[in-house]
């Protein structure tokens, strides 16, 4: 057999092996790494999705929460996992677009993760503790400008999406609101309700119960139109935040080297769930917008999202830092 023939034969064998592997996949439980703390809206959504996915895949999806450090901890665990389809990773904007722009010596690179599907977009909001006595963005601005270093703001760590919004806000207002890191929207929401921090920006779904209980107030939402869940709360554009670039999203990835046939099989299962009318209705109540894609479409989306991230990092005047695990 010629060298060319051996090469073609090797490729055919690899394709056949991959197809056979995908046909029997999965034959044991799948680990689903979630880049946020338990109790956060994304965690709630993924646990609900796991229950819907089990009948389709024939195996349970075991949630493993790896919150903190702007998703870096979870991304590292994903990148280091075996590329056999038995580790899947719930990622977000920081994982793929922002962290590589903000940190040196990351323990992973976006290329270490294979895009599987985008899952949903977040409807986010700017929230304050009711104890602050603020009822609008204008009142918050006045208070923040009158109290240098007097307000604390919950983030997901340096370089996270909430942290970048804080830097942008401080630059816009000439304020010095202080960032405090948390491992997810759930813990941040509870800290806000307890007035341990006074301000934050996270997904709306984390705060609905606390708003109803009167412990937290929503000042604005990051949506093109007002949320039906908070019809009296103005949009970013209405309060003067219309020029803020970037949008929060969540998606699914797998370790580099995961067979394409398995990626396609996982994609089909997740897209089916996140396109189901009943599940989409559930997502609406969590203040997120279902947005599943093919792997190729998700990869193309990530290219454009990186451009938006570059624009935001420039506006926020964020400097690169060396990542130092705690």
| Domain range annotation of the chain | 27-122+247-322, 124-239
Burial of 312 (0-12, 13-18, 19+ CB in 10 A): buried
* Res. 141: pLDDT tops 60: yes
* Res. 61: pLDDT tops 90: yes
* Res. 7: pLDDT tops 90: no
- What is residue 297's predicted lDDT score, i.e. its pLDDT? 98
> How is residue 313 written in tokens?
């990092």
E strand intervals along 6-101: 30-34, 61-65, 87-92
* Res. 12: pLDDT tops 60: no
What is the C-alpha separation between 310 and 31, in angstroms, rounded? 32
CATH architecture of 27-122+247-322: 3-Layer(aba) Sandwich (3.40)
* Res. 256: pLDDT tops 90: yes
> How is residue 199 written in tokens?
């301000």
* Res. 250: pLDDT tops 90: yes
> What mean pLDDT comes out for the span 306-323?
88
Confidence band for 5, pLDDT divided at 50, 70 and 90: low
> What mean pLDDT comes out for the span 146-155?
91
Burial of 2 (0-12, 13-18, 19+ CB in 10 A): exposed
CATH architecture of 124-239: 3-Layer(aba) Sandwich (3.40)
**Which are the contacts of 241, defined by CB distance < 8 A and separation ≥ 6?**
137, 220, 222
Per-residue CA distances from 323 to 77, 88, 99, 101, 160 (Å):
16, 24, 9, 12, 13
CA-CA-CA-CA torsion for 173, 179, 182, 188, nearest 10 degrees? -40
- What is residue 197's predicted lDDT score, i.e. its pLDDT? 98
What is the C-alpha separation between 97 and 107, in angstroms, rounded? 15
* Res. 18: pLDDT tops 70: no
**Which are the contacts of 239, defined by CB distance < 8 A and separation ≥ 6?**
136, 137, 138, 219, 220
For the chain, give the percent of residues with pLDDT over 90.
Answer: 74
* Res. 20: pLDDT tops 70: no
> What mean pLDDT comes out for the span 182-208?
94
pLDDT, tens only, 109-118: 999 999 999 9
Confidence band for 243, pLDDT divided at 50, 70 and 90: confident
Weakest-pLDDT range from 14-23, 41-50, 190-199, 207-216: 14-23
- What is residue 104's predicted lDDT score, i.e. its pLDDT? 94
- What is residue 319's predicted lDDT score, i.e. its pLDDT? 81
Range among 40-44, 94-98, 126-130, 308-312 with highest mean pLDDT value: 126-130
Indicate if 124-239 has the same CATH topology as 27-122+247-322: yes
* Res. 2: pLDDT tops 80: no
> How is residue 175 written in tokens?
């304020």
- What is residue 149's predicted lDDT score, i.e. its pLDDT? 81
pLDDT, tens only, 75-108: 999 999 999 999 999 999 999 999 999 999 999 9
Weakest-pLDDT range from 58-62, 223-227, 237-241, 286-290: 223-227
């Amino acid at each position: 057999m010629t060298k060319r023939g051996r090469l073609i034969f090797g490729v055919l064998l690899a394709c056949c092996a991959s197809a056979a592997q995908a046909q029997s996949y999965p034959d044991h439980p799948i680990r689903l790494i979630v880049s946020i703390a338990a109790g956060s809206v994304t965690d709630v959504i993924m646990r609900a999705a796991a229950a819907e996915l089990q009948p389709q895949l024939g195996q349970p999806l075991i949630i493993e929460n790896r919150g903190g450090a702007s998703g870096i901890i979870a991304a590292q665990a994903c990148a280091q996992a075996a590329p056999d389809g038995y580790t899947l990773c719930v990622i977000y904007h920081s994982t793929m677009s922002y962290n590589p722009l903000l940190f040196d010596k990351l323990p992973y690179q976006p290329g270490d993760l294979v895009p599987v599907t985008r899952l949903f977009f977040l409807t986010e909001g700017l929230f304050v503790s009711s104890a602050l006595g603020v009822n609008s963005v204008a009142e918050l601005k006045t208070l923040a400008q009158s109290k240098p270093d007097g307000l604390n703001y919950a983030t997901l760590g340096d370089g996270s999406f909430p942290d970048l919004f804080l830097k942008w806000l401080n630059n816009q207002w000439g304020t010095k609101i202080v960032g405090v890191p948390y491992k997810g929207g759930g813990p941040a929401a509870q800290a806000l309700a307890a007035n341990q921090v006074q301000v934050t920006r996270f997904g709306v779904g984390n705060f609905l119960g606390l708003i109803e209980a009167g412990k937290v107030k929503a000042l604005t939402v990051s949506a093109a139109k007002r949320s039906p869940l908070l019809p009296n709360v103005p949009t970013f554009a209405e309060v003067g935040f219309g020029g803020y670039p970037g949008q929060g999203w969540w998606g699914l990835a797998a370790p580099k080297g995961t067979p394409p046939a398995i990626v396609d099989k996982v994609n089909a299962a997740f897209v089916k769930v996140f396109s189901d009318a009943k599940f989409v209705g559930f997502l609406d109540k969590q203040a997120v917008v279902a947005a599943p894609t093919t792997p190729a479409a998700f990869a193309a989306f990530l290219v454009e999202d990186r451009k938006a991230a570059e624009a935001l990092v420039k506006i926020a005047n964020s400097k690169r830092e060396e990542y130092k695990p705690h």
